[in-house]
Structure formats: structure tokens, C-alpha cells
Amino acid sequence: MSHPIQFQNGGPLHSYQRKTVLLDRDKTLNPDPGYINDPNLMELLPGVVPGLQKLQSAGFQFIVLTNQSGVSRGLISPEQLYAVNRRLLELLQRDYIRIERIYFCPHVDDDGCACRKPAPGLVDAAVADFQLQPALTWIIGDRFRDLACASHLGIPGILVGNEEGEPAGWGDRAPGNLKFQESGLNEAADRILEVEFDL
């Protein structure tokens, strides 16, 4: 069964055609101890704040795209997911980092939806809503599927962390848009700035 893509932190879409970084959530912005259902368990990974600050200062905006199958599995209620995401926004706002929107897919693979990464639904929704230009956009995540969802648009991707490796069946199928692999978000930010500004 398929449901509409859901989002959080909506508002007036006033930042068209800006440089953009599409971000995975778990293991990219925050540790993932399992299905996070308590806002008090949300914390930021080292390097996230300085990395995002550098990119924001360089004119980038941020949009989060995240698979959250815990909702369909009954492990997280929609209300808990909203509270956890709100906590993430609050932690970043302490350092004046703004996330324009969080798009999330609540489904499992067997639901056959168009939004669970590596399907392109989350990316396509963000591109349509914000009129994103692929040439001005990057995508960062800790799994191949986090990048593959944007490969049809040619959006360059950076793989971060990934200590546990890829799920079965993904190890030999790196997406065509994978450009770099970095240890974390701060290093990924440096790489983007190096490419964008030839630093």
C-alpha cells in the first residue's frame, strides 16, 4: 500500500534555485541506535555542525530526505517521529543552522511505494517543491540507496561513514552518481567547497 510522501518544517517556499544539499538523517546527521522514538535520544554526530555551518555560509540550503520504516512497522508513531524530527531541528537551530524541510517515507520495502529510497520519490518531491537545479545540488548519505535516489537526475553524491557496509545485494552496485567517500559530514562539506570553489 502506498501513501503520500510526508514532510515536516514546511512553510513558504522562498528559496528557489539556490545551491542545495540533500541530506540523509540517520548515521549522516545523527547516530542511529535503532528506531529513534524518543526526542531525548536525538543527538548530532561529531562534525555535523561545523560542516553545515561552512556550507550554509557558502550559500547552501539544506533539505533532509529520510526512510522511516519504523512507522509502518509499528515501532514509531507518527507523533513520535514528528517529535524526534523537531528535536533535530532544534539542535541545529541552536547553531543557527536551518533545515528547509524534512521529507520522510514511512513505508517498508514490501509496500511498493515510490518514496522509499532508493526510489526517487523523496528527491522528486523536493525538486518540484523547491524548483531545485541538479547542477546546483549535492546529496549526502551513509548508504548507497541514499545516493541512488538522485542518480536519475545526475545529482552528485557523497557517501559518509558507512562503517557497517551496505545491505546484502548492494555491495557491488554503487550508484552512478557516487563521486566521493568521506569519513563524515564535515569532511563532505570540505569536499563540496573544494569542488564548488576550487579551494
Q: What is the pLDDT of residue 72?
A: 84
Q: What is the pLDDT of residue 168?
A: 42
Among residues 52, 119, 128, 142, the alpha carbon closest in space to that of 89 is found at 52
What does R_g of the chain's alpha carbons equal in angstroms? 16
Residues acting as catalytic residues: 24, 26
Which residues of the chain have a pLDDT value below 50?
1-4, 168-169
Q: What is the pLDDT of residue 126?
A: 96
Q: What is the pLDDT of residue 112?
A: 87
Q: What are phi and psi of 26, to 5 degrees?
A: -70, 130
Domain borders along the chain are 6-197
Which residues, listed in sequence order, are joined to residue 159 by a DSSP beta bridge? 141, 181
Q: What is the pLDDT of residue 26?
A: 96
C-alpha cell at 54: 561552512
- DSSP assigned state of 40: G
Q: What is the pLDDT of residue 172?
A: 54
Indicate the SS3 state at residue 158.
Answer: strand
Q: Which CATH class is domain 6-197?
A: alpha beta
* Residue that has been written with the C-alpha cell 552528485 in this structure: 156
Among residues 158, 138, 175, 149, the alpha carbon closest in space to that of 5 is found at 149
